[in-house]
Structure 1
């Protein structure tokens, strides 16, 4: 963007400024830190100039919003057309309690629903399983059968709302329940809209919720991708999730690199299945964390769009613009929330949410200030939602597309994040002898991802303990008095109510029809066919989550992690 003569003049002027203006001030007053860096430990200079972005080609590297390589945004008008979807995470107790929270959020202006499930549901266990005792409804809503799904969306028009389901090992069963609910209500399958997290590779890398081994888990994910391409074209069958990789302690670059690698692995598996990339790629979506270093997060989002567009086109032959747009949901950083002085979390969440908006997110969840202590209460949820609404309506951040585009600092950092991310992706691809999918599976087996994240997490914690990384209210500006707010408490009666509903379903259903439906699932698994049609039939017969998941376990076995982290 500048010719070499201009750049030389700028470099000379900077050297003069350093010697004549900056250095005397530093000599007299010093600087408040010896080293300045982002949360992910990217060292930052004191000032950036055109010389730091001398290699950028505007057309090839930036372009315009809605045009390749989508660095400046996936859509032409972005928030000037409509704001991002405000999607607050909700789920606790029984389906009835969560349904009431859904209605509360909709009444207060939420534009999309996001469902949290309890641990038994996440792990494919029924509420009456002995392993579920004490966990039913505690960290999310309990869903055992289609009956729970019916109650969960009572009074909510699923043809008129987008719904996200944060669930992984048992995600195909939940997807089947939602499709069955649409069929039951007469809503055309092609009209239902939402997102299924369903990212099993991320589970083996970071979050550690699994049932069956990686390869068959990947097969089930591809089943949902194929089914969605044919039956539910508006629904994203997978949300490729960096959020949990970052929550496990990764850097921003690791989060982006490992998430994109997972995404490319799913693409390769679907293509090997025989699907055309342009047939399913438009339905893929991503899910990222937004942490405290606002400019690093913006750079991460912009670099991610550029990498995705180029790789999808060059490696996988995507031709449709929709196949090359990286669309993503953002959630503010749960790991940054502190139990000490929890109201400080309102400020953290605001900064992180603003980073997501400045980075061009398509939907956003803002954490509640009390989430380091318990499931969020109603007041905390309302403040979290109002935070998004204030950013959208009052800050002006939604009025300009890519407002930080052209910043010497942000463009330089975007290039840096892109280069480091691609280095990781190429390393993973090399582990798979040219296949990203095989490289990811090999990396899981070898413990590669675990070690990379573990090392980054350890280094960050060292910086916190040494005071190099400040956490306000924890290692600086701490207080002795208790500042805890009133917290939401999930009663033990929840489990009793859920067990009563499950007993009623089992008593009322046609047991013979259930057995026939489960046999059909078993036959589909054994024949290596797409299991989704059989799952939809099984949940319509009111087969339970646990009964269906036991079919998968019987065929594929349970997964036990064996890698060492040394």
Structure 2
């Protein structure tokens, strides 16, 4: 994905502090624009922000605020906006409220177009087009009555299609219990295929356009997201909001309000706080072969024992030197390390020596 910023307040899979993390992400955008211009170097993700507990407005606002940081970083690196912006993509969450989600996706396209044309002056039409993938909401899956999750997933996928997603991932019904079984994965795939080939919703672009309710809801989401984006800008932008804890606090407040509504019965969750199912019997779960971990470690050891250490040591030293120099390219020395036989752990370890580890406390 290469979207490191959301990790600091939504998912937590980071190593380095935010500024070096942002530097790495932007440098990959620079590298791709120069060396592999038809490749998409980043998928800016609202999915994990929503999964952490954000509401629909926060999902869009925080995601687009992150996107603005990447845009500013790429411009500061000397790239022209229309050289790299057509290859930016997004990843959003498809949640339970069918109409709100469809309106959210419609609003997202309008907001992104305004950001690109009005804020950054993009001239190439493709720079202002919102390309996005949507995945159904893992956080809505329930362990109790897990079969009902298939219905939730179908509605969420439908919302994504009605909202104009370019691609969709449907979660499996048993993912609240563990990794999905082959049967559950097949049902998730068939859900996509029925929507795509039997429902008729793909026969026209924007099938909900013109509906009074959808248009009003779209306008309302646009207004609220743009207000929050202005608020984030006044606070210094996404990086400042990450460092101050503003994003994390906003998500925590929304997550708490949601959970309180579930626990008090204000928000209905079928099979959890209403319409309970009979006691579930034994459920078939996917079992992972415990030997896989040992096999992978042995394979890695064989790989490392068969390479020349001298060229790798030199390449890692060059990477550390580049990391110490503010603004120096990082992707080229990273590629050199890979060509010398370096592993992901060794390369990230070399950068850790310079950047350090991030402690959110």
TM range (shorter): over 0.9
Report if the CA contact (8 A) 1:332-1:352 is conserved.
yes
Alpha-carbon distance between aligned partners in 2 of 1:282 and 1:419, rounded to the nearest angstrom: 25
Structure 1 unaligned blocks of 5 or more: 1-196, 433-438
Alpha-carbon distance between aligned partners in 2 of 1:229 and 1:535, rounded to the nearest angstrom: 17
Alignment of 1:206-355 (within 5 A): 206-355=10-159
2:316 aligned with 1:523, yes or no?
no
Alpha-carbon distance between aligned partners in 2 of 1:483 and 1:224, rounded to the nearest angstrom: 49
Deviations 1:520-555 (A, max 9, x none): 222221234211122122112221111111111110
Q: Give the ranges of 4+ consecutive aligned residues of structure 1 lying more than 4 Å apart after TM superposition.
A: none
Alignment of 1:121-132 (within 5 A): none
Structure 2 unaligned blocks of 5 or more: none
Deviations 1:242-278 (A, max 9, x none): 0000001110000011001111111011111111110
Corresponding residue number in structure 2 for 1:503: 301
Q: Which has the higher helix share?
A: 2
Alpha-carbon distance between aligned partners in 1 of 2:183 and 2:32, rounded to the nearest angstrom: 37
Alignment of 1:461-472 (within 5 A): 461-472=259-270
Alpha-carbon distance between aligned partners in 1 of 2:320 and 2:24, rounded to the nearest angstrom: 13
Alpha-carbon distance between aligned partners in 2 of 1:427 and 1:221, rounded to the nearest angstrom: 24
2:342 aligned with 1:557, yes or no?
no
**SS state at 1:442 partner:** helix
The number of residues matched between the two structures is 360
Using the size of structure 1 for normalisation, the TM-score is: 0.63
2:283 aligned with 1:479, yes or no?
no
**SS state at 2:280 partner:** coil
Corresponding residue number in structure 2 for 1:447: 245
- Give the direction of change, closer, same or farther, for the CA distance of 1:345–1:403 in structure 2 (3 Å limit): same
Alignment of 1:124-203 (within 5 A): 197-203=1-7
> How much is the aligned-residue C-alpha RMSD, in angstroms?
1.1
Q: Which residue of 521, 531, 536 corresponds with 2:335? A: 536
Report if the CA contact (8 A) 1:518-1:551 is conserved.
yes
Report if the CA contact (8 A) 1:340-1:483 is conserved.
no
Structure of higher CA gyration radius: 1
Corresponding residue number in structure 2 for 1:391: 195
Q: CA deviation at 1:494?
A: 1.0
Alpha-carbon distance between aligned partners in 2 of 1:364 and 1:234, rounded to the nearest angstrom: 22
Report if the CA contact (8 A) 1:297-1:359 is conserved.
yes
Alpha-carbon distance between aligned partners in 2 of 1:489 and 1:361, rounded to the nearest angstrom: 33
**SS state at 1:286 partner:** strand
